[in-house]
Structure 1
Amino acid sequence: MPEELDTASTLKQLEKRVEELEAVRDITRLRAEFHRSLNNREWDTLAGLFTDDAHLDYGEYGQAHGSREVRDYYGQLLEQIRDMRNATAILLKNFIHGHQVHLQGENTATGVCFFEEQIRFNQDSHAFSSIGQFSDKYVRIGDRWYFAKVELDHYWVVPDNDGWRWPW
């Protein structure tokens, strides 16, 4: 009988570990989808990653509350930056590094990741590097994870004069 209890206990522990690993994997995919959607300017897809009562905080660049405002925020952000820089176009690609996820419970988690963004304010201008950190709160609704909060800690934007060149 004790051997059966050990087997049952081991199976239960393994089941819990698999559930945790799947949650971390799903949250990592969520974060990657955020950046893919941002890079491709897919604002509806990006908004669909947030809960209806989510909070987005980009500090001096503004805030949004709820998935609808998030969609509108990103749709206007590039225009806002373009106007601030007196640019004709904004070309950017955003990449994440070092994503760390911490499960808080069965349906809640937090995470941080660093981002690097390459920006050009006009097609023929120099590139700039933008660096910072995202701090997130995630929530599982049903069997899917969403952003409940995204907070940007923007470190700097610096010229990258040896940046993008075409052709290579």
Structure 2
Amino acid sequence: MGNESDLVRTVAQLSERVRELESIHELQRLRAEFHRCLNNAEWDALGGLFADDAHLDYGDFGQAHGGAGVRDFYSALPKKILEFQRGASEISFKNFIQGHQVEILGPDEAKGVSFFAEKIRFDRASEIHQSIGQFTDTYVRQGGRWYFAGVELDHYWVVPDNQDWRWPW
């Protein structure tokens, strides 16, 4: 049987590992919540996932700062996307996350990367496009809760995806 100091060390290591696993789980939930809010056009809730000094970088689509700026950015995003699709008057999209990897950097800092596939529909009887890319995130824990400190979008491509497309199903 080990001595008491070995037991204390083991308990401390296990406690730290549990904290890390809980943080990873919370961050994966945060990323999933991002996409749920995005898909349901819940702009206030989406902005609430970001720290007050957060930075969002969507490349050609623009940047935003802080939770309120992120909320405003996303609420205006559908109109910006419509500008790229001439002749369309309506847009809807659904964004799906996959392969979310998280690295805990410290008790209140982490980073992550995830991939997404998004279906974008212009007008009900018109075209659908598929968008593929990667999110690179930084996270910060404030007040015992994780937030996005930064989100950077790397768009790989947006391509038409109309084969066998029908509306309504």
- Scaled by the length of structure 1, what TM-score is found? 0.95
Aligned to 2:106, what secondary structure does the other structure show? coil
For residues 10 and 166 of structure 2, what CA distance do their matches in structure 1 show? 56
What is the deviation of 1:162?
2.1
In structure 2, the residue matched to 1:87 is: 88
Q: Secondary structure at the match of 1:104?
A: strand
Is 1:131 aligned to 2:132, yes or no?
yes
Q: Whole-Å Cα distance in 2 between the matches of residues 163 and 143 of structure 1?
A: 47
Q: Sequence identity, in percent?
A: 60
Query: Structure 2: which 5+ residue stretches go unaligned?
Result: none
Contact preservation (8 Å) 2:125, 2:167: no
**For the aligned residues, what is the CA RMSD?**
1.4
1:64 corresponding residue in structure 2? 64
TM-score (norm 2): 0.95
Q: How does 1:11-160 map to 2 (within 5 A)?
A: 11-85=11-85, 86-160=87-161
Deviations 1:37-75 (A, max 9, x none): 000000000000001110000000100011111111001
Report deviation, 1:23. 0.2
Offset of residue 136 of structure 1: 0.3
| Structure 1 runs not aligned, ≥5 long | none
| Aligned mates of 2:2, 2:155 — CA distance in 1 | 56
- The answer to whether the Cα contact below 8 Å between 1:93 and 1:117 also exists between their aligned partners in 2 is yes
Displaced runs of 4 or more, over 3 A: none
